[in-house]
Structure 1
Amino acid sequence: MPSRTSTIAPLEGVDRSLFQTPATCQWIRDANHLVIVGPTGTGNSWLVCALGNTACRDRFSVFQASIPPVRRFRASA
């Protein structure tokens, strides 16, 4: 399957490879998890959706949750 790349607008002070590396989905193949945190309104949800979309296109399952649902999920486990 051909690899896909994303066009990401440059962010001041942010290393572009931090965004390009997860877009390859290699972190999933390596059985790692990805947690994205940051202040409200900085594009966290957009980034999660973009990475999740890429993962789904590569036939991986995706789970996305905000902190309150994650706490409830862990409490019931």
Structure 2
Amino acid sequence: MTEVLVSIRLPSEMARELRKLAERRRYLDVSEALRDIIRQRWHRDEQPLLYELDRMRVELKQEMRILKQAVEGSR
């Protein structure tokens, strides 16, 4: 795969938020976070049904985790 260098300008507030996001999600750097965001957006636009299924799968996992914690907490 050939790589292409892309340079972008971001408002300073957006750059700060992106750095925070990169730290929260444990990306190596801001570039990795941007690549992931672009990849997700591309996936959503290219195959909307698969994207929606993936999103629903993630939401179900989160809800199941919350329910499991609630059940374990009530014991």
TM-score by length of 2: 0.31
Q: Which entry has the higher C-alpha Rg, 1 or 2? A: 2
Give the structure-1-normalised TM-score: 0.31
Asked which structure has the greater RCO (Cα within 8 Å, sep 6+), the reply is 1
| Structure with the bigger percentage of helix | 2
